[in-house]
Each structure stands twice: as structure tokens, then as C-alpha cells.
Chain A
Amino acid sequence: MNSQESETDPSKFAFAVTRIATAQICQSVGFTSAQRSALNTLTDVAARYLRALAESAAASAASSGRTQSNLCDVVRALEDLGSVQGFRGAWDVRRTRTLLASPTLVNLAKFVECVDEIPFAKPVPRCCPPPEKRVTTSRAAGVSHIPNWLPAFPRREIINVKETEGEVERSGFGIELCGKVDGGCLVGEKMKVGLLEKRDRVRFKMGFGVGRGRVKGEVGEGIVGVDLRNGVCRGGKRVSCQVYGNVDGKDTEDGKKRKKSDVPRKRRGMKKNVVAPPGNQDNGFLIDHPTR
């Protein structure tokens, strides 16, 4: 994709063509060869000159209330760009002579007469206009009261898909916090944020001592479980945050290593716990989150 873009990049192509033209001009002047950097610089100057000329002429046309530029605009632009060098008659600000009799134009005519005609080395393919994009307007969709220039409505399938996605998002989005007890220490907590597969009930379970370790009956010492419970409970639907401080750093690392492999089992364990009545859990809490 990238290489294709660089190949078909119009500005690079234009630069390459300009470079050939510039090289031809240099050759006609009498140079036999050129440094690459010098030629590139001269090419850049040529392109900038062209664009400056065009911009100046376009601005001049716009200031006289026209969209199309004419000869006078071009001559004005030429004089503007030639004012660095100076030209005969530049003093004549009040234009006692007509603009069309400008010395710059006369110089150009002389140049055309004197200099041999050197056509470009190769015929340049004219860029074909891009294929017209078929825009389905609102009229095409069969709705007559909406103006024609407005874009069409999105297709019905797209809307449907988006709606269902939104539902999934609403029901499935959540933070899964899995506590894990390792040697008595609650070490890992896994946060999973994102779209989950669609299911009927989503349960969030957080807490100290609710993990797999508790099922095994290992309740350890040396844990500082800071139960902040400052979660935002909007209508009892979402609980967001719970932080557990851990004293033992070594245990944490160990737990992190095991964490990945333990995820499926842990979930199973959690389900077991969820099924159990909440009264059994001493330091945790359980929230049922039924889908609407």
C-alpha cells in the first residue's frame, strides 16, 4: 500500500517531471552535468515559482471579483515576481501605459523569439479525472422531502448492526476483577475491559478472600486488604474499583507469572463461588448484574 502510494503520488510524479524539464533547460543553457542536490534545488525553485505565479494571479483575479484569471492577472503576477530583479518601467506605478504593454511581457516575447524550442523529452500522460463517485443521494433512496444535496442515509443493515453492537456494549462492558489467593496472599488482579461475548447474566465479583485459595481453604496471613469500596454504584449496576495492598512483593511476582495460566480455572472457581450464597463470603461482595 505504501509503495503503491509513493509510486502514484501525484506530487512526486510532478516533481520528477519538473526535474526532467529543469535538466533540459540546464542542458540548453550549456551545462553538461549537474549535481543531484543542485538539480533538486533548482527543480524545487521552479515548482515554487510556478505555484507562486499561479497563486498571485489567482489572488489578483479574486480581488477583482473573478474566479477565472486572465492575461492581466498573469502579467501582474509576473511583475510581482520580477520586482526582486527589477524591470524596465517598474517605476510606473500609476500605469500610464497599459498593463498589456508591460516590459516583462515584451521580455518574454523576446525570450520566445530567441530561444530554441526544446520540447519535453517525453509526452506526459494527462491525468485522467478520477472516476465519478456514485453518491446515493437522498432522492435516490426514494425520500422526496429531503433536499437532494444531502448525503444519503446509511443503509438499513448498517444501522441494525450498530444497534446490536450498542446493546452488547451496554450489557457486556464491564470490569472483571479476579482476586487470587496465593499462599494466603491476594496477589493478582486482572482487569479485563472490553466487549465480551453476549451472555445472559454478567456477574462481577470482587473481594478479599473470594478467590480460588479460599475454596481450597487457605486463608493466609500477612495480607493488608485495603477495601476501599468506593465504586460507583449506579442503580446497583456497576462497581468499579477496589484496591488491595500487598505487603509481600515476592509473592506478587510469583503470582503474576502464574496469572495467565490460571485464568480459566479461576473463572470456574468464581462461578462456583457465585452460586454459593453470599452469606458464606466473609470479606467479599457479590453483585448480580442481569441483562436488561
Chain B
Amino acid sequence: MNNNQQSSEGRHDDDAALSEFLASLMDYTPTIPDELVEHYLAKSGFQCPDVRLIRLVAVATQKFIAEVANDSLQHCKARQASIIKDKRDKQQKDKRTILTMEDLSKALREYGVNVKHQEYFADSPTTGLDPASRDE
């Protein structure tokens, strides 16, 4: 009995938090525009007139992409940290972080996406070069 009461209280809290969260979505503008999300949702047979749900989907996608991007950023930083000292000195000048296929595929693998990219596919003449030596 006591346990039930506790859980119902907790449920009330959850519901309050949830409704608050959904209400906050009305004011929140996700990076992925509503129109785009609606387009994809309509394409997949998702019907819902509620803007909050569309925002929720947009936020979820944004969170997923942000997590993947964050993971690849960590991979990128780890890779840069492992470069030997003398090279790193040069690198201190430009603190550019570039989203590369290498880091991205590593990050995506953890999310169940197996990215297979061509090893020597050069989308720019400087692709094969070391990121540090690109500007030289």
C-alpha cells in the first residue's frame, strides 16, 4: 500500500515533469527545422497534428546527431593528442578540429552504424595529407 502510494506520487512528479517538458518544447526551437521534420515524418507515414511531438522528434534527432558528433570530436582529440611531440608543436598554431570520415566512422560504429568508406578516396587534393601539415 505504502509502496503504491509512493509510486503514484512518483508518477505525479513524472507527469508534471513531462508536461512541463512538453510545454517547454513549444518555445524551444530545435536546430532541425519543423518543416524538414514534418517532411520526413509525412514520408514515413507518421501522422500527428501536434507540434510538440514534431519538436520532440526534432530534439531527439538533434540529440542523436550531437552525441555522434561529440563522440567523433573526442576521437579527433584523442588522435591529435597521440601525435608525437615535435609535430604537436606545429599543430598548436591551428587548433582546428575537422570532422573526418575516420573519426566519424569510429563514432558511428558505437551507434550501430557501420560506415565503410574508401580508404583512398580523395574528396580534396589535401585529403590524404596529415591535417597538421596541410597548411604548409
**Cα(A242)–Cα(B136), bound, Å:** 79
Are B101 and A21 in touch, CB under 8 angstroms? no
Interface members, chain B 61-106 (any A CB < 8 Å): 61-66, 68-70, 73, 76, 95-101, 103-105
Q: Is the interface of B mostly helix, strand, loop or mixed?
A: helix
**Cα(A230)–Cα(B45), bound, Å:** 60
Could you say which of B59, B69, B111, B121 has the most chain A C-beta atoms within 10 Å of its C-beta? B69
In the assembled complex, A53 has its CB within 8 A of some CB on chain B: yes
**Cα(A177)–Cα(B32), bound, Å:** 69
**Cα(A119)–Cα(B32), bound, Å:** 8
Residues in chain B near residue A85, CB distance under 8 A = 110-111
Interchain nearest-CB distance for B127 vs A (Å): 7
Are B99 and A34 in touch, CB under 8 angstroms? yes
Are A35 and B69 in touch, CB under 8 angstroms? no
Q: A29-B70, A32-B97, A53-B57 are in contact. Are A98 and B11 (CB under 8 A)?
A: yes
**Cα(A50)–Cα(B63), bound, Å:** 12
Pick the residue among B33, B76, B115 that contacts A124 (CB under 8 A).
B33
**Mask: chain A, 113-142; 1 = CB below 8 Å from B; 0 = not:** 001011110011111000000000000000
Pick the residue among A28, A55, A100 that contacts B15 (CB under 8 A).
A100
**Cα(A85)–Cα(B71), bound, Å:** 13
In the assembled complex, B14 has its CB within 8 A of some CB on chain A: yes
**Cα(A118)–Cα(B33), bound, Å:** 10
Could you say which of B28, B37, B46, B50 has the most chain A C-beta atoms within 10 Å of its C-beta? B46
Cross-chain pairs A/B with CB under 8 angstroms, 14 sampled: A25-B66, A38-B99, A41-B108, A41-B117, A42-B99, A46-B65, A50-B61, A97-B7, A100-B14, A101-B14, A105-B21, A112-B25, A117-B28, A120-B32
Closest 4 CB pairs of A and B: A34-B99, A54-B44, A54-B46, A101-B14
